[in-house]
Structure 1
């Protein structure tokens, strides 16, 4: 695996990527002033648009919920990817070859082009299959869906399609769209025989399998006809795009609800996902022909723990032996993530699709609502293998179940389950606790972490991403205002009074300096750097600008990024807000005039303050005793007045 991406490449990707084009893929943006765009925030529910994008400085800021960041942060939050993955995705988008600190390189332009061709082929195939579902030849497929309670709207919502029974319907379609057989072989949508390639999916219902960003990367197919000798379900084989251990069906539709509700429901099939979503469980996903494993858990971490808080993962299994085996396998994997884990078991063996069909949406919701902790399920599954009516059976059950309890590493939960086990077995708590203690000692000291691990407080998921939590968000007392110091070394900044004309002017000056930094060139920078701000929060931002220096003022993205780096962390949301708030001008000329006027007012205010200071010195001075100082101060006051008049004249 490649190491850290070189810093200069990260900066280059950030510089070259148009944040508006990226955000446009998720949010409908409309102009809100020159160079500023607004839309409904993708991170919280709102009726009036408060999500603002400023391409010139490469940032977004929501004035409703306080979410802010650059284009990399947007992709991270929207697609629930790591920083590394977000940079790689954006680099691929613009065809930029990344370099890594270990000397390796990311995908080159040729590889990026090949990947995009594969994605294009899948997108076209997806559209082809969906169109085929509406044809007369797909009647059997439509009947299958209708018979399971899915109407046309449901099929369209989940992109269900149909693969014709012929051998080359899709092949001809993609060839007609300019794809070569060599390219098509790499998609996994075709098999190869003596006469060349032919359609892999024939006479089947088709479900598009998409990644978390919504790109179709494979397909799942269900057979419809009795003369089909193939398996009941047939998926895309492993390809460059499709790796079943890293894919969850429905994740593209469920990701926002999972992140919002802090809940992930894992079901077994495509129709189960559909049934859950339609029944009001929009957090449902399914694995694709494999067990829920390590890579799936990584996806769950990203979605459930963006803010470091706990969540819950609910597995739905049949009540039969196979379902119990799957649940125990999930228990073994539970060590790898620390969300609270549950099992929802339907005793009759009905899956969510069957349950919805026979008993309605409420039955599916009840199944999830009556979930049981996975720990409890795993322990009771071991007990069911023994005859608890006999002494020998109870002792054997204790010997087998004590190691299960011992694997619960959370010190608060483990003794409680020891007490529960004692009650289920009819054995004293002391004897059960002793058996659990022995099982813990027998565990290999260097072995894998025990299942059921809860790192930290019970139910708290370990953060999947490194980095400190940003303090002073908009919710903590207003944009850019910290609720209090995060440590003894971090000062507290109070919200400026919006009625204070000086604070208002200082804010406007910082907006101009961040958004139109090119105006600070020449001698203007020295004047701006010498300015002093009355409002502490604004002075701290100004200090960060001075620390950033004049070298980047002609490069808006890097300028704002550097100021963000220099400013105290509690004030970063304030800098983000100042850098995107629309300036009150509708043309380039009007913006220039407005900015110059604001800077002139700032400089005039500085002159007025200096004049007042020197006037005080002059009044305290005895002209007879200090004639030279008296004359010097008068000259300086005269020069300051001339400078003030010149500023007004220019304005």
Structure 2
């Protein structure tokens, strides 16, 4: 096994990697001012972006949950890889050859996760080759009958698992993968007769994560003698969690981010049909219903801090489809985007709709979408006999909480009128029922806990006073941490010797002063973190990523220099006041002492003029 990666190589990989590019594969980032980007935090659930990235510093910080770090720690946390695996992945990305202290290259085993992903990739290539074999004719016919040509199969990575007991096992064993690894990856199953291929005689879709890595597979039954389920997926593994993956997201993520729209369909072929018809924001769940974790994934990609976004669910207009819509509705309030339901005519899913009526019909499907609330109200009322008084009263009791649960209060009056009209009851009765539903909600957990004492926590920007003096110190430290090269060592050296009024900020200032020899180097910020006491480390991280007040790119150099000069100038005025006070208090008979103070005043005034001259 290889030894440690050389420290110089680690620093080189970090310096040549733009952290925004890596984070951007998981989170939609938007500009948040000069040199700052923000998005929805991938580490906790939020509606308003508090996750900031500073490419110049190579650092990220979430003001909501406090997670922070560099590009290496980001990959470690997101993909559950070791430090070395994260470095190796970044090095491979930029084509950099790593050197190891006790060896010439990486070990055979880069870690469990990397091995499982590599096994999945090898299996994907095997399945794709098998789709071209004579034995896969039934799979090719299945695709052709649904309007998918070979180019479509290749675009989506569709493959075929031959009806073989151990064909895949033998192939992957020949590539050096052990039986235990393949069982762990979900590619083999364990039975009384030993291990065997999990997927046999089935059409195969690779399921990829948001970065495009194959984490699992979905398999469709083709043979009459196959007594297994119609669709068989990879079981839960260290790299595949069905509640957190969406089929097609790797292909759809950029258009979802650009268009702020995602279309949720029900199956693999529906995703293919939508994309081929031009709806390139379509995704599907993999063997499970749409849930909370799926919402978190979508919101991070969509950048769901805008109410202009759309989430469109397509469901079959049968009982199962209606249940799916109602399940999705229970999670609707987790979206800031507007949610809609689109039901295809004649009970057709997107795949059948494309096959029978063409691509244009699939695109028109989105034009028929209706707000999720309207759809759910209709479905709720359909369970009651509205021709009877008892039915109308029961329907009102069931539907009023739905209207009360509408997040945008300005929409409630309109839906209250819609409900009154559909029920055929007096508007005042419906208004009373909705008001009662709003007022009868149980107290929210966060409200009930608000009286609890606030626990001790690390110091952050939010804890700082808002007086002008503290604000100047904060802004100057932000400029120094984020743009040291622009400001320069001379000004920063003067700034970190200035007196601070705020103790917390002075701790950060002292850390910068102690690391002036490493200023601007790749390891500078990491060394600052080591020199900053634990209670103030969050403050350091926040200052390094918080948006600067200035917006124009051309004004960046001027702003960060001016704010630093202002801090130094303030300190010079303080020193001048102290010297004048000392001179006034000084014994007039001590001529030499007075001259010394006057020389200091002259020198200080010269420094002030030089500082103002730039």
Which bin holds the TM-score, normalised by the shorter protein?
0.5 to 0.7
1:256 aligns to 2:254 (yes or no): yes
Instruction: Using the TM superposition, give the Cα deviation of residue 245 of structure 1 relative to its aligned residue in structure 2, in angstroms.
Output: 2.2
SS in 1 for 2:343: strand
Is 2:525 the counterpart of 1:552? Answer: no
Q: Does structure 2 conserve the Cα–Cα contact (< 8 Å) formed by 1:75 and 1:86?
A: no
Mapped partners of 2:132, 2:596: distance in 1: 91
User: How many residues were matched structurally?
Assistant: 504
- Name the SS of the counterpart of 2:216 in structure 1: strand
Kept in 2: contact 1:402–1:432 (CA 8 A): no
User: What CA distance in whole angstroms lies between the structure 2 residues aligned with 1:365 and 1:353?
Assistant: 12
Question: What's the offset of the Cα at 1:336?
Answer: 4.4
d(CA) in 1 for partners of 2:441, 2:599: 85
Matches of 2:291 and 2:590, distance apart in 1: 85
Residues 154-169 of structure 1 mapped to structure 2, 5 A cutoff: 154-169=152-167
Deviations 1:567-615 (A, max 9, x none): 99699556999xxxxx9xxxxxxxxxxxxxx9xxx9xxx9xx99xx9xx
Q: Does 1:295 align with 2:293?
A: yes
Deviations 1:484-515 (A, max 9, x none): xx97759999xxxxxxxxxxxx99x9653779
Q: Distance in 2 between matches of 1:383 and 1:526?
A: 72
For 1:292 and 1:115, the matched residues in 2 are separated by 26
SS at match of 1:265: strand
Task: Provide the rounded CA distance (Å) in 2 between the counterparts of 1:490 and 1:279.
Answer: 59
Distance in 1, Cα, partners of 2:545 & 2:330: 44
| CA distance, structure 2, for counterparts of residue 492 and residue 369 of structure 1 | 51
Residues 294 and 333, structure 1, Cα contact 8 Å, conserved in 2: yes
Partner of 1:211: 209
Q: Does the CA contact (< 8 Å) of 2:126 and 2:168 recur in 1?
A: yes
2:28–2:301 contact (8 Å) kept in structure 1: no
CA distance change for structure 1 residues 327 and 397 in 2, over 3 Å: closer, same or farther?
Answer: farther
Matched with 2:365 is: 367
Cα–Cα, structure 1 residues 91 and 290, in superposed 2: closer, same or farther, change >3 Å?
closer
Query: Does the Cα contact within 8 Å between 1:208 and 1:219 map onto a contact in 2?
Result: yes
Structure 1 residue 182 and structure 2 residue 211: aligned? no
Whether the 8 Å contact between 1:564 and 1:575 is mirrored in structure 2 is no
Q: Is the 8 A contact 2:61 2:68 kept in 1?
A: no
Deviation at 1:112, TM superposition (A): 8.4
Query: Is the 1:310–1:340 contact (alpha carbons within 8 Å) kept by the matching residues of 2?
Result: yes
CA distance in 2 between counterparts of 1:373 and 1:236 reads 34
1:35-434 equivalences in 2 (<5 Å):
68-69=54-55, 73=60, 87-89=76-78, 92-95=81-84, 113-305=111-303, 307=305, 311-388=309-386, 390=387, 392=388, 395-407=390-402, 408-410=404-406, 411-434=409-432
Q: What secondary structure, in the 3-state scheme, does the structure 1 residue paired with 2:320 have? A: helix
Aligned to 1:445: 442
* Corresponding residue number in structure 1 for 2:4: none
Contact kept, 8 Å, 1:132 with 1:162, in 2: the verdict is: yes
1:19 aligns with 2:14: yes
Give the whole-Å Cα distance in 2 for the aligned partners of 1:560 and 1:82. 13
CA RMSD of aligned residues (A): 5.8
Q: In 1, Cα distance between the equivalents of 2:265 and 2:19?
A: 32
Change (3 A) 1:386 1:124: same
TM-score, length basis structure 1: 0.61
Task: Check 1:116–1:566 CA distance in 2 against 1; reply closer, same or farther (3 A cut).
Answer: closer
Hey, what's the Cα distance between the residues in 1 that align with 2:417 and 2:69?
41
Please state whether the residue corresponding to 2:331 is helix, strand or coil: helix
**Take 2:598 and 2:269, find their aligned partners in 1: how far apart are those partners?**
87
* TM-score under structure 2 length normalisation: 0.64
Cα 1:403–1:137 shift into 2, 3 Å:
same
- CA distance 1:526–1:332, shift in 2 (3 Å): closer
Evaluate the alpha carbon distance shift between residue 118 and residue 576 of structure 1 in structure 2; reply closer, same or farther with a 3 A threshold.
Answer: farther
The alpha-carbon deviation at position 368 of structure 1 amounts to 1.6
- Name 1:483's counterpart in structure 2: none
Does 1:512 find its partner at 2:485?
yes
Q: State whether residues 148 and 357 of structure 1, in contact with CA within 8 Å, keep that contact through their aligned partners in structure 2.
A: yes
Are the equivalent residues in 1 in contact too, given 2:53–2:545 (CA < 8 A)?
A: no
The farther-off stretch of 331-340 and 282-291 is 331-340
Cα pair 1:244 1:288 within 8 Å, conserved? yes
Distance 2:525 2:424 in 1: 68
Rounded Cα–Cα distance in structure 1 between residues aligned with 2:137 and 2:469: 68
Contact (CA 8 Å) 1:268, 1:316: kept in 2 or not? yes
Alignment of 1:471-620 (within 5 A): 511-512=484-485, 546-553=509-516, 554=518, 555-558=523-526, 572-573=546-547
What is the rounded CA distance, in whole Å, between the counterparts of 2:550 and 2:13 in structure 1? 17
In the alignment, the residues of structure 2 paired with residue 368 and residue 130 of structure 1 have an alpha-carbon distance, to the nearest angstrom, of: 32
Relative to structure 1, the CA distance from residue 174 to residue 71 in structure 2 (aligned partners, 3 Å threshold; closer, same or farther) is farther
Q: Secondary structure at the match of 2:204?
A: strand
Aligned residues of 1:405 and 1:414 also touching (Cα < 8 A) = no
Instruction: Flag the 1:418–1:353 CA change in 2: closer, same or farther, 3 A.
Output: same
Structure 2 stretches of 5 or more lacking a match?
1-6, 38-51, 87-106, 447-457, 473-478, 500-504, 552-556, 581-588, 608-614
C-alpha deviation, 1:21, in angstroms: 6.8
Which SS does the other structure have where 2:215 is aligned?
strand
- 3-state SS of the aligned residue for 2:157? coil
Kept in 1, the 8 Å contact 2:139–2:203? The answer is: yes
8 Å Cα contact 1:312-1:342 kept in structure 2? yes
Tell me the secondary structure at the aligned position of residue 266 of structure 1.
strand
Is contact 1:514–1:556 with CA below 8 Å preserved after alignment?
Answer: no
- 1:543, 1:510 → 2: CA distance? 19
